[in-house]
Chain A
Amino acid sequence: MSHACMCSSPNEEELYPLVDQVIEKYRGNPKELITVLHRIQKLFDYLPRQALEKVSDGLGMSLNEIHGVASFYSFFSMVPKGRHSIKVCLGTACYVKGGQKIVEHLEKKLAVHVGGTTQDRRFSLDEVRCIGACGLAPAVLVNDDVYAKVEPDKVEEILSKYE
């Protein structure tokens, strides 16, 4: 459940040598762009512009091309996210079992809309389409932890585990 905060800039600076290592491995190989973006997002929890500029140099592609690919995939984010990511499943099984109510509840509770991040950067709230726990719908993913059969009144307890 530990999920260190990586979004404030002092920490970010320290990560750039790691970015260089990733890029070195795939230098001049645009076919590996998505792999590289995954690695970078893993480091920062989003794709900082400065890192993408390095990717552009390293893989030999324009920043424009990179943006075109990154923006196509919903997994990638160009803006910093909260320390913890909440993803409410709105796949069919979860929809049928009231996933929408969980979303509405969380929106109220955290005072953010889907896609947003709380002011204190503690949580980001997003929807996902199925995390494969359909038998135990509705499901909510917090970072990598799956919560099954979530009821609106269980939400508070779940959130309290993440600082």
Chain B
Amino acid sequence: MKSWRAQVLVCAGAGCVSSGCAGVYNAIVEKIKEHGLSEEVRVIETGCLGSCNMGPLALVNPEGILYMKLTPADAGDIVLQHLVQGQPVERLMYKDPATGKAIAKMEDIDFFKLQQKIVLRNCGLIDPKNIDDYLERDGYKALEKVLLNMSPEEVIETLINSGLRGRGGAGFPTGLKWKFTHQAAKTPKYVVCNADEGDPGAFMDRSVIEGDPHSVLEAMAIAGYTIGANQGYVYIRAEYPLAIERLTWAIDQARERNYLGKNIFGSGFDFDINIKIGAGAFVCGEETALLASIEGKRGEPRPRPPFPAVEGLFGCPTLINNVETYANIPAIILNGADWFARFGTEKSKGTKVFALAGSIENTGLVEVPMGTPLYDLVYKIGGGLKKDKKFKAAQTGGPSGGCIPEKYINIPVDYESLAQIGAIVGSGGLIITDEDTCIVDFARFFMEFTQNESCGKCPPCRIGTKRILEILIRITQGRGKEEDLDRLRELCYNIKDTALCGLGQTAPNPVLTTLKYFEDEYLEHIRDKRCRANVCKRLTKKAGVKISN
């Protein structure tokens, strides 16, 4: 490949698109032309770099200097001062909030320094529309290694030893799932990638597909070889047009270069991938519903067993994994199981990508080793709460997750630790709330979500979520009674035990965790007709009657 004196990487992830990165990109290209640098300096559009609230962003390599909050007018300075005169432009750099000093290099900024990128190894650093960029960073080498030098059993053993667990929410060991699907006798078999990403407040999978689509395709081909499938499907939500476009491109390019198609790497193995677009039903993220939807039907879950590994798409054995799960796999194959298992905790290996959002300074996408303390995510990487705001709760795992109160701010974020306090890692949404969020209304918000999205197939979920929602609405309107809290708990446990699929089984989590950690706020609503966050319109903000603790 051509070697360039410098590269300007302009983030064109969906966040930066909405902040106007296209104008910045065009202006930089224009200025480069003006200064006659087109043959020396390459300008590319990349996927999300992670720090979306600093966008539009440009990273200038080889120095690794990051410029933020750019406008087209800044292009002149970047090109003339930095690229022509060799003087980085201080006014466009990140400023340390404590000292006010400019930090030139991306790697020296806290937000990036504390991260460990495996899944996002290429995001923001390559042009997702150009397969050569991926190849240059060892792309499709893992597939080559597997096809030419490894048996399916060896791949499975590597995955089991790596300790990788599914990142779609449930955390099932990936190697075991591959093993079961490999062992299923019936053919044909299918490989499916779950890119439905329905949890509101989460955008990890979208960013991987927009920023590094080939890593997912490569892993799916590895999966096909391992379990014995020749056809894969990516089920992606319709709300992500940019991701769909980039994935379509990537599949076409991979076919052209024969990383997909017939006789890949001359190994005799054939594999192809098609895209299936969702149509706006949250429950379709659940694996059995997703498979029904690929088959063109209503996306209703069905009881398991039989698991998809035995009876999946069109009744055939099917391996279904999440986008982030797949994105780990080429790196594990190339670097080995032991390398991967060094990151994380005893039972939660590797890293996890989180979408930081809410009332926090640095919103965006971050990847950290499993077991990183919540404090580090919120304060060190996230930069703490928005000015003058006080931490109230960290909400993880979306509508099936829980609210973590301040007393657990040091909890290690991994599957086991979060489960112990009633929350979940989930798909990776991490939303920070402050005193302006009313905890009862927050629980109502999630319950309204699940009640809307319940497919209605089983009564506990269909009717139970409705009853819970009614009670929560009553409380936010100042019509709650103290007995309501016990009634809520009873309904919650009932749904958890009897609902057919994960949607119903986990729907009570936001209510249960808020009842557990913020009961006083519920009681204020009921006894004092007071909403301290001033969200519930029919209640007063100021304390009327003081409650005894």
Contact = CB atoms under 8 A, between A and B. Distances in A.
Do A and B form a real pair? yes
Nearest to A128: B239
A135 B279 CA distance: 24
A74 B206 CA distance: 20
A35 interface: yes
Contacts of B449: 129
Contacts of A131: 14, 239
A162 interface: no
Contacts of A144: 241
What's the interface size class on A, roughly?
A: 35 or more
A136 B429 contact: no
A76 B201 CA distance: 23
Among B198, B200, B299, the one with the most A-chain Cβ atoms within 10 Å of its Cβ is B200
Given A72-B281, A93-B200, A93-B201, A133 B298 contact: no
A133 B52 CA distance: 9
Given A93-B358, A96-B358, A135-B355, A146 B18 contact: yes
B357 A137 contact: yes
A113 interface: no
Interface in A44-64: none
A73 B395 CA distance: 27
B14 A132 contact: yes
A23 B395 CA distance: 45
What's the interface size class on B, roughly?
A: 35 or more
B282 A35 contact: no
Interface in B273-306: 276-282, 293, 295-300
A159 to B, nearest CB: 17
Given A75-B238, A95-B445, A133 B203 contact: yes
Contacts of B222: none
B53 interface: yes
Interface stretch (A1-9, A13-21, A25-33, A117-125): A25-33
Interface string A55-92: 00000000000001100111110000000000001111
A34 B19 CA distance: 33
Nearest to A61: B296
A88 B180 CA distance: 42
A139 B299 CA distance: 27
B296 A147 contact: no
A74 B453 CA distance: 10
A130 interface: yes
B194 to A, nearest CB: 15
Contacts of A139: 18
B281 A74 contact: yes
Contacts of B201: 91-93, 130, 134
Contacts of B104: none
A105 interface: no
B295 A92 contact: no
Nearest to A97: B358
B240 interface: yes
Contact of A132 (B206, B293, B356, B398): B206
Interface in B284-340: 293, 295-300
A135 B239 contact: no
B409 to A, nearest CB: 18
A29 B298 CA distance: 16
6 contacts: A72-B300, A74-B281, A130-B199, A131-B14, A134-B429, A144-B241
The 9 tightest CB contacts between A and B, nearest first, are A91-B200, A73-B279, A75-B280, A135-B52, A93-B357, A92-B201, A135-B363, A130-B200, A132-B203
